[in-house]
Structure 1
């Protein structure tokens, strides 16, 4: 049985933990709308974040903690199972009865990623609070196996529906390049030199801040009203169905209590802030995706409480 203190501590800190992300989105929105820092300023910032800063963040997140591949096979399998479940649910939305035929295919291609991706910084910040030091290697395993899968899952529908070659986009995608490079370096037992780690860490922190502010700057909340059904379905998968699926996956793979806590937490955190940047850079409706990122950040409080406060005791 998981100690109740984990759940109580996590429940108290969810809103406090997510407030910085939401406030950065709000700052970007206000700056873009009410100051001279308009869209012309934010477009090159999006390019900087997408092509350099986010890849550094991903690479550092994967390399920083050695992955225990041999001793965490069940965790790897559970992460891949959960990830594929989220991707299949997101991809299947146009085929859902009664609602699927009303969904805009381009909007769906851009926003499907919101349903299964995760904010890695929130995961890394939260894991120690809910699972203790033993949770960090488990999160490293999940990041290592899920980030490549999720990046391919995010790029695939946009490349297929847009004027892009799928393999060309995958090979050239800076997030995928950074992820694969990080995995190879980690598997080789290498790492970032100690003298370079502070610089890399600061670039990663800046990437998170600028990525969230760019999402706020690109957000147009009025767009959300044009596709409310799609927004409800995508966020429903992310913040309701995935936590439930995570509990079932944990039971199926017979995860121990700590592994279960980590998987449930992983399933319930807000979506990745880079969803907006990726959609915008590939020529899709970035403002709509930015709105989804904002709502996901707010709904993270609810889904984390559901996962760790309601579903976890059922185990």
Structure 2
């Protein structure tokens, strides 16, 4: 089992890139107008390539992983339902604005797939990578659709139109279909695609930092606490129950628990900003979620796994 220090070391690169983007934007001539162009590049080209490649490169064995897939979907639907319900809960509705909730609901259920891949490999080797690839393949399309829906609805845009034009959804659905059809990336193209994916991670995290304003979190503290509690406390607890319900074996249970406690996806900021919402607020939530991952991962893998 990984120690707490291992989790901190694993999360440090993401957090340090967010911090670097913040410092560069605030204290150099590489200011906000430049980073708006970087966001567009990441959103429309680099991150879709990364998503497609990450899903395609690990073959999915649907028969072997059917229980894990069901558990992942059940956990995801429950987390999405909780996130959507926040403005309707007694005591919360008057503290949560529609636009802020539409942009930040995704924080509660989306996840950082690359931290997930690294943790899965350390926990269970090649089998862990295979299992986390299954969860990525079946959950990313669901989560991206769920992330877009409240923003499209609140902005009174056509939900179907937003889906078919959303490059992240196109890439994830295309990657899943290609994986199931047995598509393999040509060897000559693999290095280029890998480099584009690596660039999307670094630039996306730095763009999140460049748009970050911690002051924005102060005006919607209730919402911030609620979505982060779902992401880092409630979802891991639900994952423990779901693993028992679906009868997962110990390795599958370990991977599902790790999956449930991951920091949220750094692309939450990019999606919110490109759809016209408060990117600074969402970037602050991404940063806090990255920090909280240092606590939620040991909680899931140390405390819950031992129950």
Output the TM-score relative to the length of structure 2. Answer: 0.99
Structure 1 stretches of 4+ moved >2 Å: 9-12
CA shift, 1:259, in A, is 0.1
User: What is the aligned partner in structure 2 of residue 85 from structure 1?
Assistant: 78
- Preserved CA contact (<8 Å) 2:79 2:235: yes
Say if 1:42 and 1:217, in contact at 8 Å, map to a contact too.
yes
How much has 1:199 moved relative to structure 2?
1.2
Distance 1:102 1:294 in 2: 22
Contact 2:95 2:220 in 1 (8 A): no
Aligned pairs for 1:271-310 within 5 A:
271-310=264-303
Aligned length: 307
2:98 maps to 1:76? no
Q: CA deviation at 1:164?
A: 1.6
Is residue 186 from structure 1 mapped to residue 155 from structure 2 by the alignment?
no
Q: CA deviation at 1:12?
A: 3.5
Hey, what does 2:110 align to over in structure 1? 117
CA distance in 2, matches of 1:246, 1:252: 10
Q: Counterparts of 1:12 and 1:215 in 2: how far apart (Å)?
A: 25
**In 1, distance between residues paired with 2:188 and 2:287?**
36
Give 3-state SS (helix, strand or coil) of 1:155's partner: helix
Q: What is the match of residue 172 of structure 1?
A: 165
SS at 2:305's partner residue?
helix
* Deviation per residue, 1:137-180 (Å, 9 max, x gap): 11111011100000000000000001421100011100000011
Q: 1:12 aligns with which of 1, 5, 11?
A: 5
3-state secondary structure, aligned to 1:190: coil
C-alpha deviation, 1:109, in angstroms: 0.4
Q: 1:4: which partner in 2?
A: none
**Which sections of structure 1, spanning at least 5 residues, go unmatched?**
1-6
Q: Cα distance 1:98–1:21, how it changes in 2: closer, same or farther (>3 A)? A: same
* C-alpha separation in 2, matches of 1:149 and 1:11: 31
What do you get for the CA RMSD once the two structures are aligned?
Answer: 0.8
Deviation at 1:10, TM superposition (A): 4.7
For residue 148 of structure 1, the aligned residue among 141, 148, 157 is 141
Q: What is the distance in 2 between the residues matched to 1:149 and 1:127?
A: 21
Q: In the alignment, is the contact (CA less than 8 A) between 1:10 and 1:130 conserved in 2? A: no
1:32-55 Cα offsets, whole Å, 9 max, x none, are 001001011101100000000110
Cα separation, 1, equivalents of 2:133 and 2:93: 36
